[in-house]
Structures are given as structure tokens and as C-alpha cells.
Amino acid sequence: MSLWKKSVFPAAAQHQKLDGQTYNYGTAGFRTKANLLDSVMFRCGLIAVLRSKKTKSSIGVMITASHNPECDNGVKIVEPMGEMLIAEWEVYATQLANASNEELGGVIEGIIKDNNIDMTVSANVIIARDTRPSSPSLSASVIDAIKAFNAVYTDYGMLTTPQLHYLVRCVNTNGQYGEATEEGYYKKLSQAFTQLKIQTPGDNSYLPEISVDGANGVGALKVLQLQKELKGYLDMKVFNDGSTGKLNEQCGADYVKVGQKPPAGVMFEVGKKYCSFDGDADRIVYFFKSKDGSFRLMDGDKIATLIAGYLKELVASVGLNLQLGLVQTAYANGSSTYYASTVMKVPVACAKTGVKHLHLKALDFDIGVYFEANGHGTVIFSEKATKSITSASEDSSLTEDKKQAAVRLLNLMDVCNQTVGDAISDMLLVESILEARLWSLEDWNSAYTDLPNRLLKVKVEDRNAIQTTDSERKATSPVGLQMAIDTTVAKYSKSRSFVRPSGTEDVVRVYAEADNQTSADQLAYDVAVLVHKLAGGVGDPPTPPMSS
């Protein structure tokens, strides 16, 4: 018997898989009801150790269910440079999570053999969790697995998901990316942000304060810690801080984005700036109350175009030969794509839904800005871009204006959490740009107007009946569906629609947009009916929109 089996098998017996449960490692890792996850957490601890041995690097494990209700939980595994787990190992994680208790040893042996893993190599795992009541016990299950493999681990306790990603990269770059502590995270962001503030001429039109909806999650706690480091340069008033309300209940970025309304617990006033995080603080959306009393939202599309446009201007000001691009998904509003590509002249690429796909696509550019419409995104700088910007910031032959623009780029680069979307980092980035432009939220929002849109879902027998191509914008099956969608779309002005299978349930998601809300609603309904008819719809056909 292999040496590891003598310790892993007895430990696994304390975390046995529940009969009849099936798990899938999706774009957000494993995620379901917390009481179904004990065995999954143990096995993710095993996967993390094996991945650490394979890469000879530290691997991260984050216990969170992001914007899901408090009763849910989940787990994500983080790669050495802070990226999402690679696709090949998602397969291994799924196999291991679904193996019967008797099959467990064989699956582990298969992973070791397939990857030629030297089990004598040391392993190190970095763990963190969100504020859910179930997270401490699930974290303990992960730790049991790591101990069973006789590996080393560091438990950072309660962190945002982006902070865990940051720490993993810091450890694996020996501190080159930043100091591998929670305090180091605050220090890196706050120092870069304060330098940008010092560099920006003061003007009374910029309001250095913002009300932050912490979604009653971990982000609320961490914003309060960051506040101490900002030395009064930005006043962040936190509401939904977890002291009373439930996690993600009537609050948070997803609630605000989907409902198109402010969260509970906020004094919603004209002239104030607001933003909402999600439960683990990797998403952010901005919003405000217009002078006519209407709710106005700046989602991931608005944030992406703000950032891409400003970075492009700075790159041009310095005279750097760098290719900057914006990566979106099919859910990006058509107006944002037109504004970025036609008005700002920024190349736009489309990727499949899921930030891991956007992140990979953004690597095609020297500076890649990527955001999902839900507010999850960041900016990544290639090695070429980093060297060019750093060199320009130190080049005494440049004019003062060019050198200052280069220094500004350097500080903006440090404000960005390049490992993953980060609500705190993105908020500081947006605030820096708004101040530099002397823009209010009204100014920012007026850059372009979103096309009216509607998102529906259709229950089907098997979501895999829908197959797509072109970054999920075209359906390849069932036969005839895409042709029917194209014919339907042609009936409406400035319209488009696409369908894609859900990654977590047997439903098909239908997105539609058009020149007015009535048309967008009707188009979404028309396409939903097609999906129900051609893709094995369950139950009654979709309900017609109220306006029809």
C-alpha cells in the first residue's frame, strides 16, 4: 500500500460522499447547499495538494458561494499565479468529487499516474473563507485532507476571494507582486491610490466619498480595514455590513444588477455615489439617483469602457507601442460594444461566459481589460507592458507630461488586482479615473445609453440539447434553431438575441435587446418560445410579456 493511503483513507472515512449526489466543477468551482459539501471540501483539499505537487507551487483554496444565498456554499481552487484552476484539472476535481467512497483511491492513483506526480515533492496550500456560518466547518474539512497528505498549509481565515488570489500570487513570486499578507494587500492598493490622488490636481467637482453596499459579506469588513490605510483620501461609508442583515439578501451587486434598483438599507439620495459588492467582493456595480428621481446603474460594461478609454489615453500620451483591448461576453450591451469599438476605437473581443474565459482572452493584448456585465472583471498587463511602463516612468529624457502619464500608468497598474476581478481594487480604480476626468456619475453614465434588454430562462429536459459557437452567440443545435432566431431578430430594430445552456441547472438562458423595452421583451419571449418548442421545453410554454 502506498504510504499516502495509510493516512488518506482513514481521514476520507470521516468525510464520506453522500449517496445520490452529483457535483460539477463549473466556472465558479463547486457550489450547492452547504450541508451537501463536506465530502467535496475534503476532496478539494486532496486535489489542491496534488496540484501543488505537480506545479511545485503553492495552490489556493477559497471557500465561498459568492452572490448565492447564505444557505449555500462552495469552493474554488486557485492556480499558482492567482488564476482559476485550469480546465484539465477541473475534470479531475469533478471525477474525485463524484467518486464513490470505494473508488476514491483508484481515482487519486489515476491522477497521480496521468500527471507523473512525484509524491515525495512537498506541497503547500493557502486557504481562506467568506463569512457564511458553514464556512469554518467546511474549511476544517479541507484542512483534514491536507493533513492526511502530510502537506503544509496556511489558513488565512476570513478574506475576500480576490485577497486569496492576491496572496497565492505573492507567495509564488516571492513577494515580487506584493507582500504576502492581508496587510500587504491593503498597503499595495492604498499606496498606489494615494499616489494617484497626490498626482491629480484638486477640484471641487470630485466628491471623495462613496457609500458601499457590502452585501452583508466579507467585503464590508475589509473595506473598513482599508479605510485606515487611505488617510482620508477616500471616505467609504459602509452599509449592509453584516451586523444585522443576511448575506446577499435584498442587497449586493447581483441584486442591484438584476433588479435594477437600490439595495435595502441605503438612504438613496440625489448627488451621492453608491456601489455594491457581492458576497465575496469580486463583483462591483455603481449606481446613483438621478435628478428626476430615477435609478441609474453603471454595470460591468460601463466600468470596462471607463477604464479602457482612460488607459488608452494614457498609453497614447506616453507614446508607448502597446496594444490595448477590451474583452466582453455575449451579455455585454450592444451600446457598450459600439461605444468601445467605434467611439473610443478600442479593439473588442468576445469570450464565453465565465471570467476564466475572459481572463485567457485578455492575455492576447498587452493591456487587457475584461469585465462581465455583472461587474466581475479587472485589467491585466503583459510583461511587455509592465516593462515599457516602468521604463517610461524612469526615463529622464521624456517631457514632464509624458513622464507623469507613465507614472500614473504605473500606479494604476498597482491599483489593479491582476489575478482576478476585485470589487475593492476596481472601486479604487474607478474613483481614480473619475477624479482625473473630473466626472460625476451623471457624466460617466451619459457616455452612452444602454439598449433596452431582457433576460429569460426556459426549463428544458436536457440543457445539453443546446450547443453553441462564436463565444455562445450562435446556436449550432438543435437544427433549425439559429435560423429561426435570425428570422425573429430581423423583425425588430437594433436587435439581437442569443441562447445558451445554464452551467448549473436544466434551463436555457435567453438574452434579447432592441431599440425599446417593449420590443426587447417581445423578442425575448419569441425566442423563448422557439427554445421551448425546439429544445425540449418542460411544462407550459413561456408566458407572453405584459405589454403584448
Catalytic residues: 66
Total number of residues shown for the chain? 548
Which H helix or E strand runs over 474? strand 474-477
The closest of 79, 38, 88 to 61, measured between CA atoms, is 79
The closest of 215, 211, 235 to 288, measured between CA atoms, is 211
Q: Cell numbers for 158, please give them.
A: 476570513
The closest of 184, 194, 52 to 127, measured between CA atoms, is 52
Three-state DSSP at 217 gives: coil
Q: Would you give the end-to-end CA distance of the chain in angstroms?
A: 69
User: What sign has the CA pseudo-torsion 280, 284, 289, 294?
Assistant: negative
Residue with cell 408566458: 543
Rounded Cα gap, residues 414 and 176, in angstroms: 12
Rounded Cα gap, residues 317 and 193, in angstroms: 20
Task: Please enumerate in sequence order all residues whose Cβ is within 8 A of that of 495, keeping only pairs 6 or more positions apart, or say none.
Answer: 489, 512, 513, 514, 515, 519, 520, 523
Residue 440 exposure: Cα atoms within 13 Å on the Cβ side: 13
Pairing of strands 367-371, 124-129: unpaired
3-state secondary structure 98-123: HCCCCCHHHHHHHHHHHCCCCCCCCC
Task: Please enumerate in sequence order all residues whose Cβ is within 8 A of that of 391, keeping only pairs 6 or more positions apart, or say none.
Answer: none
Cis status, amide bond into 544, omega within 30 of 0: no
Q: Cell numbers for 91, please give them.
A: 475534470
Q: Are 215 and 247 in contact (CB under 8 A)?
A: yes
